[in-house]
């Protein structure tokens, strides 16, 4: 059984971006194929909640396949998208002054569905702990109403 959703994904389908890709780039160093967020649509400091999405395009680097069957987004990129969303939250709330989060690990990860070109992957992160040396977020991702991913994202602050 998946855990209880901490957002209603339907509430974030047609919402306007609060932070677009240009603002996300100020917080996160990933570029080109490794940028996994299209927009952040909700950030609640008091609740420790952040919601964003990735519009999965047909020209993604992983979509070029030589095997049969439809192209499916690699699950490791779903993990990366969740980590980037949590890093963005930490930047916006000032948890890593002058730096950003490195992807430190994941725990209790489960994948529950496929993601492919044309899908909007809605990702939510909920702060569990934000400390000087390590952060932890519960993360969930949805395609439509279906939770396709959940797990715990660990971040390690990096200040260049």
Query: What's the pTM value of the predicted model, to 2 decimals?
Result: 0.95
* DSSP string for residues in 91-125: HHTTSSTT-EEEEEEEEEEEE-S---TT-EEEEEE
The confidence band for 67, taking pLDDT boundaries of 50, 70 and 90, is low
Provide the sign of the torsion angle of the four alpha carbons 67, 72, 78, 81, taken in this order. positive
pLDDT at 3 over 80: yes
Higher per-residue confidence, 127 vs 66: 127
Domains and CATH numbers, the chain: 9-158 (3.10.129.10)
pLDDT tens column, 112-142: 999 999 999 999 999 999 988 899 999 999 9
Residue in the block written with tokens 């044309």: 118
The confidence band for 89, taking pLDDT boundaries of 50, 70 and 90, is very high
Written as six digits, the tokens of 12 are: 């974030």
Whole-angstrom distance, CA of residue 55 vs CA of residue 105: 24
The residue count for the chain:
160
């Amino acid at each position: 059984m998946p855990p209880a959703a901490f957002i209603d994904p339907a509430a974030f389908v047609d919402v306007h971006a609060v932070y677009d890709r240009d603002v996300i780039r100020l917080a996160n160093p990933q570029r080109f194929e490794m940028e996994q967020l299209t927009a952040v649509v909700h950030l609640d400091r008091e609740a420790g909640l952040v919601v964003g999405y990735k519009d999965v395009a047909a020209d993604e680097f992983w979509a070029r396949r030589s095997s049969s069957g439809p192209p499916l987004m690699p699950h490791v990129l779903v993990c990366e998208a969740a980590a980037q969303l949590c890093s963005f939250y930490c930047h916006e709330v000032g948890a890593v002054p002058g730096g950003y989060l490195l992807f430190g690990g994941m725990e209790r990860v489960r994948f529950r569905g496929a993601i492919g070109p044309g899908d909007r992957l809605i990702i939510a992160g909920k702060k569990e702990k934000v400390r000087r040396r390590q952060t932890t977020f519960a993360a969930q991702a949805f395609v439509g109403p279906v939770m396709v991913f959940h797990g715990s994202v660990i971040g390690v602050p990096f200040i260049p």
